[in-house]
Structure 1
Amino acid sequence: MFGVLFGILVGLVMPVQTNANSRLRLSVGSPFLASLVSFTVGFLTLLAAALLLDGRLPDPALTAGRPAWLWSGGLLGVAVLTGNIFLFPRLGSVQTVVLPVTGQVIMGLLIDHFGWFNAPQAALGATRILGALLLVSGVLGAIGLADALLRRDRVVGTGSSAGLSLWAWRCAGVVFGMFSATQTAVNGQLGVVLGTATGAALVSFTVGVAVLLLIVLGTRATWGLGVPAGMDRNPWWMWIGGFLGAAFVFGNAFLSPVIGTGLTVMTILLGMMAGSLLIDHFGLLGARRKPTTLLRALGLACMVAGVAVIRLF
């Protein structure tokens, strides 16, 4: 039960991180530069945590003779982050949420069933499938799919995104979600090998910073910090995204070997949706206030039921 509650708590920080990074992007201009700043803050946070809590930095020698995929967590994280940037204008808000979530749930269950990435095995039975369906259904309700359909939430873009191209982007959305679940399993196993979840998260962020730095240099993003038009100042909380991201990656690395990748993904998704509803309902962190509807509340309850089915039965 502790693992489930901790997973929900870890998930709660993600919507806050998203808002913080979105606000940071307005001030620095480039989404890649905002991601680099966020990753750098997270890297420094984890570096300090490793020295204070573990008393040492992770020892790369412990990975000698181990599979190369142990180092892929940071690369997967950057792929997911960058993927969402490209998905939104092509698929719209609803599909950008639902398709990656579907990929996360599917991949999490497959990793558990086959024991990929040395994850603890859990057979894919009717109960786990039912729980997954409840969770995905809850996500549809929590993001207000019915409201979106009534508004006819159209894909933003040109004719080039139609037909086969549109379906290619939809498949990419599922794949990015699968990358996210894979990152959870990889960082969890890296934490086992290194003997510290903090060290695993630090390695992941180190790789992420290196990759993002190459992207920023390659795209020749303009460096600078300003106050967006129509705003008086930059809020202090726009800098905490990296700190929260570090906590999120640490939580994933800690939980995955304990409760399994599938359940880790699902409990964190539950926390993410709950946090999003709270931010929208109260208009926190500069977000436009959007009171919780009955449909969204029922969607969250459906997600709770899905996690409970998998955890208790």
Structure 2
Amino acid sequence: MLAIMIGLIIGIGLPIQTSINSRLKVALGSPFLASLTSFTIGTILLAVMTLLIEHSLFFPIKLFTEQPAWLWVGGVFGVIYLTANILLFPKLGSVQTVIMPVLGQIIMGLLIDNFGLFYSLKSPLTFTRLIGALLVLLGVTGAVSINDLINRRHHKMDKEESGLFIWRLFGIVAGMLSASQAAINGHLGGVLHSTVKAAFFSFLIGTICLLLIVIIIRPELKISKTKKKNPWWMWLGGIIGGLYILGNVYLVPIVGTGLSVVIILLGLMIGSLIIDQFGILESKRNPVTVAQILSLLVMISGVVIIRLF
């Protein structure tokens, strides 16, 4: 039960982090600079936690040769997933930018569990678990797209719709990498014998990757000059992100990658609906509909099926 609560809490934190980082992007003028700032703050937080708990940030260098190469790329996968969301939004819109990666996360989560990939907890894919996963996907689709479908029911399909297949595929692959990151970081925690050290190392790798991206593309820093003062909370996204990775490292070895993914997705949808309902963190207020509540209940039923069967 504790693992499920942790999964829900870190899932709820994800849309909050997104809203915070979106505000940081407005202040800094670049999504990459905002992401680098967020990752750097998260890395510092995890470094402090690691020093307090483990009294060291290092580990035996021999692990680089003794362990498989994929053990060290979890942070890279996280950056790819983050960058994918930035690239997909203008191409697919908000609805498909959510749905496509979610589909990839669910597919990869089930595959990882079924085959025990990345030395994860093995849970064979049964027909019942597949039904549960489909219910979760159906719930996500309904929660994020029902209003959009209603608003566009009289509109014809965009002429460019047929040319978006590659972007949808990219979104699915990004979601699969996100689920892989969770499994990899879970195993890294076991290898290092430390949940917090694994989270720190993963975040550090992500920060280095983002730093290289910023050096290559050299985005211009444009400090916001709006009359409205920048809020203090726009610097907290990295803290939430660090705690999310830490929660993932703890969760995956206990319940498996597939269930971790769907529990966090449930928390994500709950957090998103709360933000929409109350318009918190300067977000536009979009009252939650009955259809979205029903979609959330469908998701919960899917999680229950996967958990029990």
> C-alpha separation between the residues in 2 aligned to 1:124 and 1:292?
34
> C-alpha separation between the residues in 1 aligned to 2:60 and 2:43?
17
Q: How far apart are residue 222 of structure 1 and its match?
A: 1.5
**Equivalent residues of 1:187, 1:252 under 8 A apart:** yes
> C-alpha separation between the residues in 2 aligned to 1:121 and 1:58?
30
Question: Aligned to 2:223, what secondary structure does the other structure show?
Answer: coil
Counterpart of 2:232, as a letter, is W
Corresponding position of 1:130: 131
Corresponding position of 1:77: 78
1:153–1:75 Cα change, 3 Å: farther
Q: How far apart are residue 217 of structure 1 and its match?
A: 1.0
Question: Aligned to 1:284, what secondary structure does the other structure show?
Answer: coil
What is the TM-score with the length of structure 1 in the denominator? 0.94
Q: Matches of residues 88-107 of structure 1 in structure 2 within 5 Å? A: 88-107=89-108
Q: Matches of residues 58-73 of structure 1 in structure 2 within 5 Å? A: 58-61=58-61, 62-73=63-74
Q: Matches of residues 1-313 of structure 1 in structure 2 within 5 Å? A: 1-61=1-61, 62-143=63-144, 145-152=145-152, 162-163=161-162, 165-227=163-225, 229=226, 231-313=227-309
Counterpart of 1:65, as a letter, is E
**Equivalent residues of 1:63, 1:194 under 8 A apart:** no
**Equivalent residues of 1:63, 1:193 under 8 A apart:** no
**Equivalent residues of 1:8, 1:271 under 8 A apart:** yes
**Equivalent residues of 1:191, 1:253 under 8 A apart:** yes
Q: How far apart are residue 311 of structure 1 and its match?
A: 0.8
Counterpart of 2:92, as a letter, is L
Counterpart of 1:210, as a letter, is I
Give the alignment's Cα RMSD to 1 decimal. Answer: 1.7
Q: How far apart are residue 36 of structure 1 and its match?
A: 0.3
Q: How far apart are residue 153 of structure 1 and its match?
A: 9.1
Q: How far apart are residue 162 of structure 1 and its match?
A: 4.9
Structure 1 residue ranges (4+ consecutive) displaced by more than 3 angstroms after TM superposition: none
Q: Gaps (5+ residues) in structure 2?
A: none
**Equivalent residues of 2:146, 2:292 under 8 A apart:** no
How far does the alpha carbon of each residue in 1:73-105 deviate from its partner, in whole angstroms, 9 at most, with x for none? 110010000011110111111111111101000
> C-alpha separation between the residues in 2 aligned to 1:278 and 1:199?
32
Counterpart of 1:133, as a letter, is L
How far does the alpha carbon of each residue in 1:245-274 deviate from its partner, in whole angstroms, 9 at most, with x for none? 000011111111111000000100000100
1:290–1:65 Cα change, 3 Å: same
> C-alpha separation between the residues in 2 aligned to 1:15 and 1:197?
23
> C-alpha separation between the residues in 1 aligned to 2:147 and 2:254?
38
Counterpart of 1:149, as a letter, is L
Counterpart of 1:102, as a letter, is L
Q: How many residues align?
A: 306
Counterpart of 1:17, as a letter, is Q
> C-alpha separation between the residues in 1 aligned to 2:152 and 2:177?
29
Question: Aligned to 1:57, what secondary structure does the other structure show?
Answer: coil
What is the TM-score with the length of structure 2 in the denominator? 0.95
> C-alpha separation between the residues in 1 aligned to 2:22 and 2:101?
19
1:214–1:50 Cα change, 3 Å: same
Q: How far apart are residue 188 of structure 1 and its match?
A: 0.5
**Equivalent residues of 2:139, 2:298 under 8 A apart:** yes
Counterpart of 2:217, as a letter, is T
